[in-house]
Chains A and B, each alone.
Chain A
């Protein structure tokens, strides 16, 4: 999990900078990083909050972005199954992109669920503490670093670092291109509703492309 902690650092700093730029107060920024504990969702909250979107729109958009957690949850479920319920419920909170990536291989290699759970608990907690620390530092730095550095550009760069490597096959590229086209075409929609609409259309486009490709291969 150490490499994951290092990889998380710039993203955490950037989320803190983003919170400062959005004008959220320090307690609000800390609350976001501690409770939401997801960079994409935190940036979405800041963006939507800044345009005055209603609570329901913010929550719904974040929920769609968080659907990937269902995927991680399903992948980890068999490994967590031998553990007591309160352990499972606690560990689920620590399930992030980074914790999932770092531990799924470890779990599938071990036949000792308790050892795997302890590894996940230790690594996941370390990631959580790192996330709080880097968010706080980023927030404080964001208020000090001059605007001419264009530090806010680091926010999209962090998402580019996440999304570019997954664009390896046609369905993923179609999903991204469709979502990208619609988010710009629908930019006139109020309350940044274009985000969720474009995201959903992109997901459907990727799924259909994947199905079509499978049919085509099967013939």
Chain B
């Protein structure tokens, strides 16, 4: 990757904004409480942002950006999601997802 000059400003800016978000209510001395509408909306940040981040990695074809539902990553991701839902464990989710993907890739090559 070229453009090493631009990476560091990004790191510093993202780092600073992350820090300010972490500091926000702590710096307000705990006196200022969060408005109810904001508290309600923030609950959905992980569900919405992480899904938006993760879905293209699973169904997207990296080069073209086109949606490809019929690839082994989709099924492997579903199996991993079920594992995550029931175990709450990153390690077990990773194991379920990677083993499923390797098995499906092996199956595809064995059949193909």
Inter-chain contact A24/B51, CB cutoff 8 Å: no
Given the interface pairs A153-B97, A154-B98, the reply to whether A203 lies near B44 with Cβ below 8 Å is yes
A65 contact set on B, CB distance < 8 A: 45, 49-50, 53
Q: A182 near B: Cβ within 8 Å?
A: yes
Of the candidates B14, B21, B33, B39, the one whose C-beta lies within 8 Å of that of A58 is: B14
Given contacts A45-B11, A202-B44, contact A160 B52 (CB under 8 A): no
Asked whether A175 and B44 contact (CB < 8 A) given A36-B15, A160-B97, the answer is yes
Pair B30/A81 contact, Cβ less than 8 Å:
yes
Q: Are B7 and A24 in contact (CB under 8 A)?
A: yes
A184 to B55: give the CA distance in the assembly, Å: 8
Q: Which residues of chain B from 1 to 55 have a CB within 8 Å of any chain A CB? A: 1, 4, 6-15, 17-19, 21-31, 33-34, 37-55
The secondary-structure label for the interface of chain A is: helix
Closest B residue to A164 using CB positions = B84
Check A73–B98 contact: CB distance below 8 A.
Answer: no
Q: A45-B11, A59-B13 are in contact. Are A40 and B47 (CB under 8 A)?
A: no
Q: Is the CB of A203 within 8 A of B30?
A: no
B75 at the interface (CB under 8 A from A): no
Q: How far is the CA of A212 from the CA of B45 in the complex (A)?
A: 18
A202 contacts B48, C-beta separation under 8 Å: yes
- A77 and B30 in contact, given A67-B21, A154-B94 (Cβ under 8 angstroms): yes
- Measured CB to CB, the residues of A under 8 A from B are 7, 10-11, 14, 22-25, 28, 31-32, 35-38, 40-41, 43-45, 47, 49-50, 55, 58-59, 62-74, 76-81, 88-89, 91-93, 95, 150, 153-167, 171-173, 175-180, 182-184, 187-188, 194-195, 198-207, 210-211
The 8 A-B pairs at the shortest CB distance, nearest first, are namely: A202-B48, A206-B44, A164-B84, A77-B30, A23-B1, A35-B15, A81-B30, A161-B93
